[in-house]
Structure 1
Amino acid sequence: MSVSRGRKRILVVEDEENIRETLRYNLTREGYEVSEAGTGTAGIELARQRRPDLILLDLMLPEMTGLEVCRVLRAEMSTPILMLTAKASELDKVVGLQVGADDYVTKPFSLNELLARVAAMLRRAELTGVQRQDTGEIEDFGGFRLDRAARTVRVGAENVHLTPKEFDLLSLLLGNPGRVLSRSTIIHRVWGSKFFGDHKTVDVHIRWLREKFERFNTLPFRVTTVFGVGYRLDRLDAADRSPTTLNEKPTTA
């Protein structure tokens, strides 16, 4: 059932080696370029490095569950995610869709059905323009540029050096404009589920970001502290910008 197509990149995140090998063999035979990961953390790193066109994500994974992986990736990219689950309950499927999965297949699954769904999801992504090559990788507006693939930040002609966590935090906020992100959500998405430190870590990193950007006269976005909840980033029109846009006074929820 091979179909003529370009070399689409697919990432398979599955801890069962026999299933992973079966998927790799059949997807490769269909003409796809396949990457593999056996754990949730490895899957996230490969997704960030390879920027696949589609991700096959197992629900039950070591280190991080498929749901946790899905939450992290959905905050960073719009890549279609097809969840593989051995759990047949409606609740599990609904939760998977709520955290960002685009579709799911219940194990044991038909290879023909899975390949058909993969092809349909890729075709739908192309038609809707969701999966353009640069989608989700670059935030470029108002003289500010953040490149997720290169992990660089620039304001005007000046590069801004950020630590890995500072970069991930700013990237997360930029990917969710206008939304209040709680400290626990930020911890989960930036530091991961195995982080056992204090939530004040988020406040410290926000302060460090503000210190690194305070030398710039204006920025095209504002990071607002929402007391008792977390932080919100808003994009600004030129008329709304001021020298204190990153250091905006806190507000209540």
Structure 2
Amino acid sequence: MNKPLILVVEDDKAVQKLITTTLETQSYQYHTAGTGKGSILEAVSRKPDIMILDLGLPDMNGIDVIKKVRTWSNMPIIVVSARSEDRDKIDALDAGADDYLTKPFSVDELLARLRVSLRRVRYDSEKLQRDATVFTNENMKIDYAAGCVWIDDEEIHLTPMEYKLLCLLAKNVGKVLTHNFILQEIWGSYSSDIPALRVFMATLRKKIEKDASQPKYIQTHIGVGYRMLRVGDDGKSG
């Protein structure tokens, strides 16, 4: 694919400069916006591949930007914000953000998050995630049509709940899914039974991971939710 286009939405000129300079060193194309309204206009007109978004914008809350963009675009949105409370992260992710990076941040971490999101862009563009009948992730294979899962070419037997969880994570590979989102998607209505979700996730990990104490497929975001990593992406599971 061509060099990706990244929209940087940040009103702090120093932070904006840090991000754009970092993008320049990696030969990424980018445009900038310093307001929420400006970011929406740029997103509509430029059609960027990824948005890097600050939540504290002068004219509107970044959460509202996410919600508006999600009415017409599925592009990855990486929030970069000084807000570090779990509630802020959960609100942003529930609104439709794909990732959340807390200020101050290292440029290496920002680039790592970008690489993960760009892999998602590539897979989406080739329709390998949502349209394929078979999902593969290194030694894992899910045959959606047959309802079967293999690890290292050996079929593993999952309970219906474990299979639903695995498929939900696989169809959103690379994206952080909050506890509330998972509970609503799997149970069909709002549930607050996070302890039960943790139990199901633990049993699932025991079946798909060689070492459940050091998982490579399913990453935990403490207090927030879970994400399936495409093996080989940057990031640490745990």
TM-score normalised by structure 1 residue count:
0.49
- Give the secondary structure class of the aligned counterpart of 1:82: strand
* Structure 1 segment 99-248 matched on structure 2, within 5 A: 99-129=95-125
- Show the counterpart of 1:20: 16
- Give the secondary structure class of the aligned counterpart of 1:34: strand
Question: How many angstroms does 1:62 deviate by?
Answer: 0.9
Letter in 1 for 2:11: D
Q: What is the rounded CA distance, in whole Å, between the counterparts of 1:104 and 1:47 in structure 2?
A: 19
Q: What is the rounded CA distance, in whole Å, between the counterparts of 2:73 and 2:42 in structure 1?
A: 13
Identity %: 39
Note the alpha carbon deviations across 1:184-218, whole angstroms, 9 max, x for none: xxxxxxxxxxxxxxxxxxxxxxxxxxxxxxxxxxx
Segments of structure 1 that go 5 or more residues without pairing to the other structure are 133-253
Q: Do residues 37 (structure 1) and 6 (structure 2) align?
A: no
- Give the secondary structure class of the aligned counterpart of 2:83: coil
Note the alpha carbon deviations across 1:44-98, whole angstroms, 9 max, x for none: 1001000000000001101111101010001111110000111111110000000
- Show the counterpart of 2:53: 57
Question: How many angstroms does 1:31 deviate by?
Answer: 1.3
Question: How many angstroms does 1:22 deviate by?
Answer: 1.1
- Show the counterpart of 1:142: none
Q: What is the rounded CA distance, in whole Å, between the counterparts of 1:131 and 1:35 in structure 2?
A: 26
- Show the counterpart of 1:77: 73
Q: What is the rounded CA distance, in whole Å, between the counterparts of 1:18 and 1:63 in structure 2?
A: 19
Note the alpha carbon deviations across 1:133-192, whole angstroms, 9 max, x for none: xxxxxxxxxxxxxxxxxxxxxxxxxxxxxxxxxxxxxxxxxxxxxxxxxxxxxxxxxxxx
* Structure number, greater radius of gyration: 1
Moved beyond 6 Å, runs of 4+: none
Segments of structure 2 that go 5 or more residues without pairing to the other structure are 129-238
RMSD: 1.7
1:87 is aligned, of 83, 86, 90, to 83
- Give the secondary structure class of the aligned counterpart of 1:104: strand
Letter in 1 for 2:44: R
TM-score normalised by structure 2 residue count:
0.52
